[in-house]
Structure 1
């Protein structure tokens, strides 16, 4: 699977089946999405309902194969363990990384073809006031047991390793 910024300068290669395809409605994702969308000519980050759609991959199954030097970290707070990487060439949000985690949350719109359908919405208790979510997929007020199980299962399969993503600045 190819993952790329809008202009094609930053390119990732992802192999294997993703861990999960999810939309997050937490306050942090909403705030980060608003901030990134304010960058010059940035493509949308937030969905119409205020959620942020991600495809989660194991860190050992994704690597930057071009343009990694164009990635810039955005953090809500300087001390945050979570960084959102943006391609400075076109201000495309590429991924969210919990730096101590074993997975990478790729912004779903960065998978130009073949993005898996959403499987669930999480943190819906934080959604914007007045937003009614459809019941086409499960909507969880927090991180569901199924969400956590999928992450834990992937970590077990990785031998409890937490690798760095190849080709991405530290």
Structure 2
């Protein structure tokens, strides 16, 4: 059975990327870094929203070897909250579309859910770092919510790393 392929692109279509197979996780993060990084990207000229109205940042997280750029890679710009930050947010400079987040030296990439085409996205599986959520609205009940990063998340990351090492 062929692996699912999902396409994400910037708003103007010059940068396109494909994500192959099922993601490690379909989640929403409320950590301070994701909220601030999202605010900074959304403050760029003509940038589209990447955060939900309640401040959470929805991602589809994939193994590094499952994400590749099809076009426009030369248009990508890295943004870091501080010069020494291990997390970089990657933006398509042509239209200031937030594309993905990469934690170095991690083996995964978190792609912004809002950049995907089509409606075959997986439902949200978990909401993390809700202790930093600052919205007055009620927390959505569509998925389990965790004040921090749950063991379940780390278990999935470890399983994904093992699959990479064994070529699966």
Secondary structure of 1:158's partner? helix
Q: 2:97 aligns with which of 79, 92, 100?
A: 92
Q: Measure how far apart 1:3 and its partner are.
A: 1.3
Q: 1:129-159 CA distances to partner (integer Å, 9 max, x unpaired)?
A: 5342022210000011111111111011111
Q: 1:64-98 CA distances to partner (integer Å, 9 max, x unpaired)?
A: 11000000000000011100000011100000000
Q: 1:82-135 CA distances to partner (integer Å, 9 max, x unpaired)?
A: 000000111000000002001000000111112221111000001015342022
Q: 1:28-52 CA distances to partner (integer Å, 9 max, x unpaired)?
A: 1111111111100000021011100
Q: 2:109 aligns with which of 101, 104, 109?
A: 104
Structure 2 residue 73 is matched with structure 1 residue 68: yes
Structure 2 residue 163 is matched with structure 1 residue 157: yes
Divergent runs of 4+, >4 A: none
Q: Normalized against structure 1, the TM-score is what? A: 0.91
Q: Normalized against structure 2, the TM-score is what? A: 0.92
Q: 2:82 — aligned with what? A: 77
Q: How many residues align?
A: 161
Determine the C-alpha separation between the residues in 1 that align with 2:43 and 2:91. 12
Q: Return 5+ residue gaps in structure 2 as ranges.
A: 1-5
Q: Return 5+ residue gaps in structure 1 as ranges.
A: 162-170
Q: 2:22 — aligned with what? A: 17
Q: How does 1:37-76 map to 2 (within 5 A)?
A: 37-76=42-81
Determine the C-alpha separation between the residues in 1 that align with 2:147 and 2:79. 26
- Please say if residues 55 and 135 of structure 2, whose CA atoms lie closer than 8 Å, have aligned partners that are also in contact: no
